[in-house]
Amino acid sequence: MEMTITEKIMARNSGRDHVVPGQLVWTDVNSVMTMDYLGKQCFDKFRSLGKEEVFDKDRVICVSDHLVPPPNQKFATMLNEWREVVKQHDITHFYDLGRQGIAHQIMVEQGHVLPGTISIGTDSHANTYGAVGAVGNAIGVTDAAVAMATGKAWFRVPQSVKFHITGEWQPWVMAKDLSLHIMGMMHWNGHLIYKTLEFTGPAIKSLDMAGRMTLCNMTVDLGAKNGIIAPDTITKKYLDKVAKGSWDMIASDDDAHYDAVYEVDVTNLGPTVAMPDKLDDTVPVEKVIGIKFNKAFVGTCTNGRLEDLAVMAKIMKGKQIHRDVNMIVVPASQTVYLNALRAGYLETLIEAGAAVDTPSCAACAGIHTGVAGDGDIVLSAGNRNMKGRMGSKNAQIYLTSPSVVAASAITGVITDPRTFDV
Amino acid sequence: MIKGTCWVADDYVMAYDIIIQEYWTSPIDPVENSKWVMAGVKDEFNKENGFKDGGYTFIVAAHNFAGGGKSIEHVITGLIGAGIKAVFAISFARLQYRNAINYGLPFVTCDDISKGCDTGDELEYDPENGMIKNLTKGTSFQSIPAAPFVAEVGEAGGLMNYVREKIAKGEPIE
């Protein structure tokens, strides 16, 4: 019986030769991730199961990302309690302030997720791990506590949907544009609830790891269980440097069953923008050119990577950000930060008038570092734009790619990077 | 058999409206979380115990209940703390569907019910066979009964109890 990659991963990690959609299985997990604002509760719950030691100290990954650096005393105290509990359990991999990053970036860039395995995290964008051919799944504190104790999690094997992506990527068009395009095409939380989304085709083969992470990251916002891209030479090149553990190439069988197959040709795909409040209300950038905004934000687990900063630096080199725009750039991890610094990208962005802040989830979670106030119009390369997401309910958030944010920050109005004089 | 009144939601009740942003970093606790549960859904609920004071036992919703991509369990503990014993909807967002199973709160899939109830109607739900009766209107709806694993977790009082018992007995989890 032929299987899709996600079915194969569920079978392999539950000690079965074969699984079918709808089947309920307990699987081994490769890594369990938790972070600062929920982590202590995971450990507390874990101990309430009657265990003292986690199933594997190398496989429980702890990250400080939502609350760092603490903007107030409440978060500072929460972080202290968090550090205490991580220390108490002698966790090997603790990415705390100074070595921090957004958890999903850390999980991939530090090699904690591997093709053919399942990793879970207590934050919804854990779907990002699909970029390397892993099943990445967001879970709650309860599932994390159970996995910390047992190394296992339960799953209902999802039905598979294929997105076959063909054509040539046009200049300045990014994986984010494809994500937003699919969001508009499928509609938010429509037909893809509980499904696994597999991305295949020549335009995926040519996509770098940063783009693959963006694409898989936003599958959670489509309502999907996970998004996945089978490992290939790009994956291997990336993982050779970082993988913590061995892995093998895994792919869907040729005759595997998909509930639905959708084709997208990126040759016709331009920069794309999601209108305020609704993620699935997306339009080609041409429809919104000239709209004024006063805040620009690039960062997050969706678009805070080196490749994103590189594109922005190319667009913004030698230019000045418009006087009516405040721009904040937050690299997704300390590694990204350092590499962007060494490559000169941050120098370019700072010279253009951008404020660069230390890696964290920043204003994406509406908690700190550039939150939105009443009347703000934000052009963001983040992942969510519902009312109040970045702070005030009286702010508007347009979501788009880093290249659109970069070009627009210079002009002060939403701008098509393809027509921008670089 | 569970009996009580229902609150009927509009389409697309989002998780981040059930628990609004300022309470995401609160401890996960039914009493605490229930004080402000549903605060973002309706203005009338945006006060302490605003939803809880309605005394509802059931929520009746349409598509994608608790959607919008939040995995925080406060959503479920908030509803449990407010006295909700089951939620009936056409579909549920997967992150919270999973959390509901883990807490033993029935999230029950039922195609027709959202158009057949008004807020305040008295309902009766039989988890054994999935039958939902609207006692006020004299109508009934067949829902999809819980899968065996889900029922087992529910009977144990949630996944924590389920796993705790297995660990204590030295039984494999499979």
Distance CA B100, CA B79 (A): 10
Whether B28 has its CB under 8 Å from any CB of chain A: the answer is: yes
Cβ within 8 Å, pair A50-B167? yes
Report whether pLDDT(B115) > 90.
no
pLDDT tens for each residue of A107-139: 999 999 999 999 999 999 999 999 999 999 999
Chain A residue with minimum CA distance to B99: A140
pLDDT at residue A189 in the model = 57
pLDDT tens for each residue of B6-52: 999 987 899 999 999 889 989 999 999 999 999 999 999 999 999 99
Cβ-contact B59, B7 below 8 angstroms: yes
Residues of B in contact with A139 (CB under 8 A): 71, 98
Report whether pLDDT(A399) > 80.
yes
Over chain A, what is the mean pLDDT? 97
pLDDT at residue B68 in the model = 83
pLDDT band at A30 (very low <50, low <70, confident <90, very high): very high
pLDDT at residue A57 in the model = 98
pLDDT at residue A148 in the model = 98
pLDDT at residue A422 in the model = 72
pLDDT tens for each residue of A245-267: 999 999 999 999 999 999 999 99
Nearest CB partner across the interface for A124, out of B71, B158, B160: B71
Distance CA A115, CA A209 (A): 13
pLDDT at residue A134 in the model = 98
pLDDT at residue B112 in the model = 87
Report whether pLDDT(B148) > 70.
yes
Six token digits for residue A387: 């009312």
pLDDT tens for each residue of B77-103: 999 999 999 999 999 999 999 999 999
Give pTM, 2 decimals: 0.96
Chain A residue with minimum CA distance to B92: A193
Assembly ipTM: 0.92
Alpha-carbon gap: A323 to the closest alpha carbon of chain B (Å): 31
Cβ within 8 Å, pair A50-B67? no
Report whether pLDDT(A319) > 70.
yes
Q: Which of residues 88-117 of B touch A (CB under 8 A)?
A: 91-95, 97-99, 102-103
Alpha-carbon gap: B159 to the closest alpha carbon of chain A (Å): 7
pLDDT at residue A420 in the model = 87
Report whether pLDDT(A303) > 80.
yes
Over chain B, what is the mean pLDDT? 94
Q: Which of A154, A218, A368 to mutate to test the interface with B (most CBs of B within 10 A)?
A: A154
Query: What per-residue string of b and e applies to B140-168 under the rule 16 or more CB within 10 Å gives b?
Result: ebebebbeeebbebbebebbbebbbebbe
Nearest CB partner across the interface for B69, out of A74, A124, A139: A124
Mean pLDDT lowest for which of A281-290, A338-347, B62-71, B72-81? B62-71
pLDDT at residue A187 in the model = 82
Average pLDDT over residues A71-83: 97
pLDDT at residue A190 in the model = 65
Q: Which of B73, B96, B99 to mutate to test the interface with A (most CBs of A within 10 A)?
A: B73
